[in-house]
Structure 1
Amino acid sequence: MQVTDFIKKHYKHFNAASLVDAAEAYKTHLDTGGKMLITLAGAMSTAELGIILAEMIRQDKVHAISCTGANLEEDIFNLVAHDFYERVPHYRELSAADEEALLSRHLNRVTDTCIPEEEAMRRLEHVVLKYWEKADKAGESYFPHEFFYQILLSGELEQYYQIDPKNSWMLEAAKKNLPIFVPGWEDSTLGNIYAGHVISGDIKNVHTMKTGIQYMIELADFYTETATEESKIGFFQIGGGIAGDFPICVVPMLHQDLQRTNVPLWGYFAQISDSTTSYGSYSGAVPNEKITWGKLGRDTPKFVIESDATIVAPLIFAMVLDM
């Protein structure tokens, strides 16, 4: 039995039914000429979502991505250092002393997975620093994902690959020059490292790295050029946080601040979230709240699956891919 057949047979009610509805509406949105932006919060790259997200990119089921700086870099960490990762299935039982022991071994824990500092973070730092310094000396500036695209396409990291490269979503995105938007990139390991190199004087011009406001301008241009009434852009949100909050605001900005009233609203909205609906919670807010902010319309297809994205996202993507 295929994954899609299994899901349609057994997923009949509640969050399971919402999963099916969101996946089928995703397919309908694409089949009728729409495009899709996916947002990645949490630690989805360390959760190895790239195994199926890379295939989504290859098959043109994703047309843009908004993600945290952590998700941007952690897909590449996994690409070059996978064999050095350590899984800690008993992470709920770790004491403070156990955590300190991991620190002494330079293992940075993300729930049940430890990222090795030297083989992942420092290995990538040694390579990316050369690209930062080269751009800095040439008076050039690039976005964080553009630096990664340069590195991945150069082949310089191939000697370190420790997973099948077809399972790296960043590598597939680089091949397609997929639009990526990374709000708050400085809140990431390499963002911290970049700041350190600016402070130490290795990078002379902090603006060698383009960041937030420039990303919003880039997103506004992308949305204006891409979205039409015949080909609206959908919004598939994994988790909450800045990865989702940042890009969805581009529509009211275009309408209210730039008076581009001919630009359509988002044409589809789905969110996978375990955030509880509560007072003042954006991640837990029901989709209709976004109508009042000029982000979604009354008739926009809207879905919320209240569950773990590491379980739900691969299932939805499998349905979109007809697996």
Structure 2
Amino acid sequence: LLYQCHKNKVPIVVPGITDGSFGCQLWMYYQFHRDLRIDLFKDEQMLSELTDHATATGGILIGGGISKHHVIWWNQFRGGLDYCVYLTTAQEFDGSLSGAQIREAVSWGKVKADAKKMTVEGDATISLPIIWAAVKDRL
């Protein structure tokens, strides 16, 4: 996926890039490569411009948390996502963003009411490769 995005100049935004083990790896790399620069505001500007100028937007939201919220947050300023797929194992009962259903995003204007939308409840390490294979067969 990363290779195809790079090859086709598809930007990847990681809003929580310094979180967890990946952030630790970046920090360790930075100890010996002080020229490493990460510009989160540049990513925010790009997302703002992409959503502002898009005729339609869609998101495949794998899991929850900051990455999920980032996608739906920026899209509320254009009236919501036109297409939306949630891949999740999170439950709604605890009130977490990760477990929030698409209908909640619709109520906030983050996903359009008439959007083509689907929630896939299950482990993304299983569901995403199946979805990817199905999409690839149709291209």
Same fold flag (TM > 0.5): yes
User: Counterparts of 1:278 and 1:319 in 2: how far apart (Å)?
Assistant: 31
> Which structure 1 residue ranges, 5 or more long, are not aligned?
1-168, 256-262
* 2:136 paired residue number: 321
Question: How many pairs were matched up?
Answer: 138
- Mapped partners of 1:297, 1:190: distance in 2: 33
Q: In structure 2, how many angstroms separate the alpha carbons of the residues matched to 1:210 and 1:291?
A: 31
Amino acid of the residue matched to residue 239 of structure 1?
G
> Could you tell me whether the CA contact under 8 Å between 2:72 and 2:105 is conserved in 1?
no
Determine the structure 2 residue equivalent to 1:170: 2
Distance 1:193 1:312, change over 3 A: closer
1:203 and 2:27 correspond: no
Q: CA RMSD in A?
A: 2.4
Q: Which stretches of structure 1, 4 residues or more, deviate above 6 A after TM superposition?
A: none
Residue in 1 that maps onto 2:92:
277
Higher share in strand: 2
- CA distance, structure 2, for counterparts of residue 190 and residue 274 of structure 1: 22
Percent identity over paired residues: 29
1: CA distance between counterparts of 2:127 and 2:28?
37
Change (3 A) 1:309 1:202: closer
Greater helix content: 1
Distance 1:209 1:278, change over 3 A: same
SS in structure 2 of the partner of residue 282 of structure 1: coil
Matched, 1:236 2:60: yes
Instruction: Note closer, same or farther for the CA distance 1:314–1:196 as it changes in structure 2 (3 Å cut).
Output: closer
Q: Residue 266 of structure 1: CA displacement?
A: 0.8
Separation (CA, whole Å) in 2 of partners of 1:197 and 1:268? 37
Q: Secondary structure at the match of 2:19?
A: coil
Match of 1:221 among 23, 46, 49: 49
Question: Structure 1 residues 305, 190: closer, same or farther in 2, change over 3 A?
Answer: closer
Gap runs ≥5 in structure 2: none
CA-to-partner distance for each residue in 1:32-56, whole Å, 9 max, x for gaps?
A: xxxxxxxxxxxxxxxxxxxxxxxxx
TM-score, normalisation: structure 1: 0.39
2:114 to 283, 299, 304: 299
Answer 1 or 2: higher relative contact order, Cα 8 Å, separation at least 6. Answer: 1
Question: What does residue 82 of structure 2 align with?
Answer: 267
